[in-house]
DNA sequence: ATCATTATCTGACTTTAGTCAGATAAATAT
DNA sequence: ATATTTATCTGACTAAAGTCAGATAATGAT
């Protein structure tokens, strides 16, 4: 029987080898990898040089030299950044865009070539397994942190949350119909707003407010589709309960819609018990409460 | 909805990036990658330089130089090959072995570090998904070819096949008890022996012999555990039927044990129909025949 | 106005990863 | 015995990838 560690090492070896070969075959035509990476990273609308540097993790001098080389090839032009004339923005020229498109096309071809030997069922299995590996490898850098409840990040998460509800609720969802909450209620010292990130990307959120003295209420618990099944909902819930304890709350209540079966299961698993309806919000069907110990 | 190609590209990007970082953190301490690869490939018992060259796909001069560098560091020594004084064998010295062990340990640590953020269930899912990806990516280089039925390769496959039967049959399996077949029967012009490989590694086999004039018999159909679920059994069966047609056979018969449910399903799916027992071999429970068109 | 900081660029350098054309010596074929 | 082939090595070369120490110019802080 192959051990867990052997399985991982074998995966690492085989998969990187295979993808490396693929990359070489399809992309490694004539341009050094550094230049191709840069061409890609600049994107269709251009990007500041400092952004390129941090994103690719390269030395400033090195990036500069790569840009000069791409400029000489007529693929890139750099102009001063609009607000800060020290910084520069690199943009693709017309032929740079064409070149990037070509790289993009080849990258697609490389991806396609992995599917061609497979039948329909096998393709489906491969894609599912790839998604699973990618998701699970991402668990390591899930981080939960407090954010100002009125920050662009928090608002972005809320927009995702509302879109999700709109999609999931049989009756649709209109934020204006729901119970209105001022972002101040989710701010210290009354409450808190947590955002979960994978790397830089926000993938979940949750908010705590004070419902009555000593009783907290959890709202806006959202987990991005790409991150479901990784226990992030549980992590957020635990983190919110911890915050509630720190705020001296002795109980937490929350409500949920009948369509959100995973959420209901999560609450039950965490010792929440069903109670009488405690608001007249039209969306929730179930009301829960838990005493914090 | 993320497209298939986007999913694959995202997988390629994320997984290679992540494994690359890991590799760098754990292994990329102070030695160039080329030297580490060589250190690894030499193995604990030493290896001929030409083998190193072909295995790693490197230029002869380059390998030579890498070996000199490792020699200077006291990690490797080269001696003339026992039978051919032109060739040389590279062997690890004591400190070379230690160094390799250290690399091995770090590689294990790197693998382990992927598992640590996961709970038991997630670990299981990650490992399963990795195995699935690895297997399915390997489908592309499955190759079936004729082999001499008495070659070491064929015998290796047969040994695997017998071990599999021993493991699978309720009553165990002893090759000496089964119907005896001379390897000549599986050789042209009477029959054929096919071996399936993934890359270099043999992962399946199947044999065809002449049972009666114009009637072929398929024996020794084996698919390695690591390759099951990829349709290799089907490929081997189709290839054997094709060979039978080329040999002018008008029908094929075969037998199988009740424990080999996948095999039975495969035969039924391919139009084989159950017939009367046609031998007194103690192992088979079912007997099939198919008319070739 | 002055000073420190930030963003980029340039020149000079290094290491890594190779390639290629012989040179050398042993083995094999004739 | 001689010629050819094979396996390795050495010297001379190149390209890619990156590092580091200033130089320069714009910005922000005091």
pLDDT in tens, B79-115: 999 889 999 999 999 999 999 999 999 999 999 999 9
Dihedral of the alpha carbons of A112, A113, A116, A118, in degrees to the nearest 10: -100
When mean pLDDT is compared over A18-27, A167-176, B5-14, the highest value belongs to B5-14
Tell me what pLDDT residue B202 has: 94
Tell me what pLDDT residue A103 has: 92
As a whole number of angstroms, the distance between CA B115 and CA B22 comes to 13
pLDDT, tens only, B2-55: 799 999 999 999 999 889 888 888 876 688 999 999 999 999 999 999 999 999
For residue A228, CA distances in Å to A132, A135, B11, B39, B264 come to 11, 9, 17, 42, 40
Put residue B229 in one of left, alpha, beta given phi > 0 → left and psi -120 to 50 → alpha.
left
Neighbours of A203 (CB within 10 A): 23
Kindly state whether B109 is in contact with chain A, defined as any CB-CB distance less than 8 angstroms.
Answer: no
Which residues of chain B make contact with A230, given a CB cutoff of 8 A? 122
Write the class of the CATH domain B141-291: alpha beta
Tell me what pLDDT residue B63 has: 97
B99: three-class secondary structure by DSSP: helix
Tokens 């490992």, located at residue: B127
Residue B170's contacts (CB-CB under 8 Å, 6 or more residues apart) are: B259
pLDDT higher than 80, residue A29: no
* Lowest-confidence segment of A21-35, B136-150, B274-288 by average pLDDT: A21-35
Tell me what pLDDT residue B2 has: 75
Average pLDDT value for residue range A18-46: 89
Residue of A1 and B125 predicted with greater confidence: B125
Tokens at B123, concatenated = 């670990």
Kindly state whether B129 is in contact with chain A, defined as any CB-CB distance less than 8 angstroms.
Answer: yes
Tell me what pLDDT residue B171 has: 84
In this structure, are residues A290 and A272 in contact, taking their beta carbons and an 8 Å threshold?
yes
Tokens at B269, concatenated = 């799916």
Residues 12-51 of B with CB under 7 A from strand D: 48-50
Strands (E), B65-126: 76-80, 88-92
pLDDT higher than 90, residue B176: no
Pick the CATH number of A4-117 from 1.10.10.10, 1.10.12.10, 3.90.1170.50, 1.10.260.40: 1.10.10.10
| Residue at the smallest CA–C1' distance to nucleotide D26 | A86
Nearest CA-CA distance, residue B197 and chain A, Å: 15
Using 50, 70 and 90 to split pLDDT, how confident is the model at B1? low
Q: Let me know if A79 is exposed, middle or buried by CB neighbors in 10 A (0-12, 13-18, 19+).
A: exposed
CA-based R_g, chain B, Å: 25
Average pLDDT value for residue range A47-59: 95
- Strand D contact at CB of residue A59, distance < 7 A: yes
Tell me what pLDDT residue A282 has: 85
DSSP run (H or E) holding A126: helix A120-138
pLDDT higher than 80, residue B179: no
Domain map (residue ranges) of chain B: 4-117, 141-291
In this structure, are residues B227 and B205 in contact, taking their beta carbons and an 8 Å threshold?
no
pLDDT, tens only, A87-124: 999 999 999 999 999 999 999 999 999 999 999 999 99
């Amino acid at each position: 029987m192959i051990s867990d560690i052997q399985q991982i090492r074998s995966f690492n070896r085989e998969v990187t080898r295979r993808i490396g070969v693929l990359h070489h075959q399809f992309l490694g035509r004539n341009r050094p990898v550094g230049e191709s990476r840069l061409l890609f990273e600049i994107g269709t609308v251009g990007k500041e040089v400092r952004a390129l540097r941090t994103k690719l993790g390269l030395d400033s001098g090195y990036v500069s030299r790569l840009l000069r080389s791409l400029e000489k090839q007529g693929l890139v032009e750099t102009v001063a950044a609009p607000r800060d004339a020290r910084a520069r923005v690199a943009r693709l020229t017309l032929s740079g865009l064409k070149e990037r498109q070509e790289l993009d096309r080849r990258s697609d071809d490389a991806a396609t070539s992995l599917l061609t030997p497979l039948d329909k069922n096998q393709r489906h299995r491969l894609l599912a397994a790839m998604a699973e590996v990618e998701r699970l490898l991402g668990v390591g850098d899930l981080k939960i942190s407090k954010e100002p409840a009125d920050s662009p990040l928090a608002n972005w998460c809320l927009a995702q949350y509302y879109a999700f509800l709109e999609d999931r609720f049989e009756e649709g969802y209109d934020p204006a119909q729901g119970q209105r909450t001022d972002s101040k209620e989710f701010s210290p010292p009354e409450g808190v707003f947590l955002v979960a990130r994978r790397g830089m990307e926000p993938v979940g959120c949750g908010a705590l407010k004070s419902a009555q003295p000593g009783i907290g209420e959890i709202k806006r618990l959202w987990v991005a589709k790409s991150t479901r099944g990784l226990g992030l909902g549980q992590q957020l819930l635990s983190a919110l309960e911890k915050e509630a304890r720190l705020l001296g709350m002795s109980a937490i209540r929350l409500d949920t819609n009948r369509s959100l079966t995973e959420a209901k299961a999560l609450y039950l698993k965490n010792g929440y018990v069903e109670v009488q309806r405690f608001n007249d919000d039209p969306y929730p069907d179930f009301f829960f409460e838990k005493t914090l110990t």
